[in-house]
Structure 1
């Protein structure tokens, strides 16, 4: 077996995507980088598979979106699906206008998800992909780059992978949230984490930890608990926090649905949310403004993001280039009644 595109990338010290761009003349690459890639190709005597590349360039008029779901669940419509449905609405809006179809799948992360991607790529069912829920080291991005399949992601990864994305600045968002709670006098601030492995979990934790440190507030690891994006996960995490000998006076949840579960757990203990304990969500789904009390939360423009990543992917498929490959947007904190001044310590 001869050298692969990954061998060329390693020798040239660049990403697989950069090698692909040089081969296809499909994106702006600096002259120095281009020469380094070409030199690696010559030294390795790399021969691209022209037949496979020709097949890949044939258009299906369809883009793919594989949604990761928890094992054993279906794509049912409920509160926890709202963010995905908003994102999909933005995707559909642009795709319909441009006459492009959407191939939608759902699978739990793991072997089933991998097989779906491989089947779609091998069968040339789609022209490109939109990625959701990016992971710290995302095998999907690596695989699609190796196969020279265009894609754009909602989210980033860590490490050396370079690809087009739109993302909300999670570190900036959690900085806003933590600053808000510190301003209200809270010093014991609980943090329910997003699922481990997601890149957003790393960025958000950094915003929370760095803000506490900047204010001279010790980071108590007992106040950082694992969580998830469901109501049940938020309820479990809040119960764990409230069982601590010195429980938090404020809690940050990974999304609005999880915050709803946290509210339910606090209210079951007889606490008044917004007075006895403050709770903050993330996403700003429409119903968040109508809960009792209305939820303080981070707003992210999910529908716009869905539309933007679709515009970027279609531009990549049409022109081989996009004006800006990395779009990082600031989130906005919407302050409502679920947060208030820290309660005074009980005497005695």
Structure 2
């Protein structure tokens, strides 16, 4: 009998804007796919490599472990990969992984990982442009800037 699709989500801190957006997107995607949300698969905390490995160890040891994982960042990813490696599990085969990776670290790993990234240099330029505009026109409208991200699926 096939296992249900169980997708875990790492959040850094549930109360920050990025984590709230990730959680909202996760809930929307799960609803669209008709997959019930299991709160035990949603983790939050400052995901260092060590804490990520410990959290993912606990999930993998459960009676119904996740088949997918969305990592909050590169450190969470490294911890998750460490947990998988200790069990002899292969990313992309045993557990599908996507991560946020603005350092481009994931492209150097010998693992099949979907990667979402944003050009942080471009973000910095946009912030400086916004600040300069605000200094030049302090009473003008506040600009909202959306920087396009990029998703590279697991190969």
**2: CA distance between counterparts of 1:278 and 1:317?**
46
Structure 1, unaligned stretches of length 5 or more?
1-184, 338-348
Structure 2, unaligned stretches of length 5 or more?
none
Match of 1:264 among 76, 82, 85: 82
| Over 3 Å off, 4+ runs | 321-324
Aligned pairs for 1:1-348 within 5 A? 187-293=5-111, 295-320=113-138, 325-337=143-155
CA contact (8 A) 1:266 1:272 kept: yes
Q: Which whole-Å deviations, capped at 9, do the CAs of 1:39-79 have from their partners, x for residues lacking one?
A: xxxxxxxxxxxxxxxxxxxxxxxxxxxxxxxxxxxxxxxxx
The two structures, once aligned, show a CA RMSD in angstroms of: 2.1
Partner of 1:190, secondary structure, is strand
Match of 1:24 in 2: none
Shift of 1:281: 0.9
**1: CA distance between counterparts of 2:64 and 2:52?**
19
Q: How many residues align?
A: 153
Shift of 1:294: 5.0
Q: Which whole-Å deviations, capped at 9, do the CAs of 1:249-297 have from their partners, x for residues lacking one?
A: 1111101221111111111111011111111110342221011215321
- Higher Cα Rg: structure 1 or 2? 1
**1: CA distance between counterparts of 2:140 and 2:104?**
32
Task: Mark the CA change 1:224 to 1:212 in structure 2 (over 3 Å): closer, same or farther.
Answer: same
Shift of 1:322: 6.3
CA contact (8 A) 1:283 1:298 kept: yes
Q: Give the TM-score, by structure 2 length.
A: 0.87
Q: Give the TM-score, by structure 1 length.
A: 0.41
Task: Mark the CA change 1:210 to 1:225 in structure 2 (over 3 Å): closer, same or farther.
Answer: same
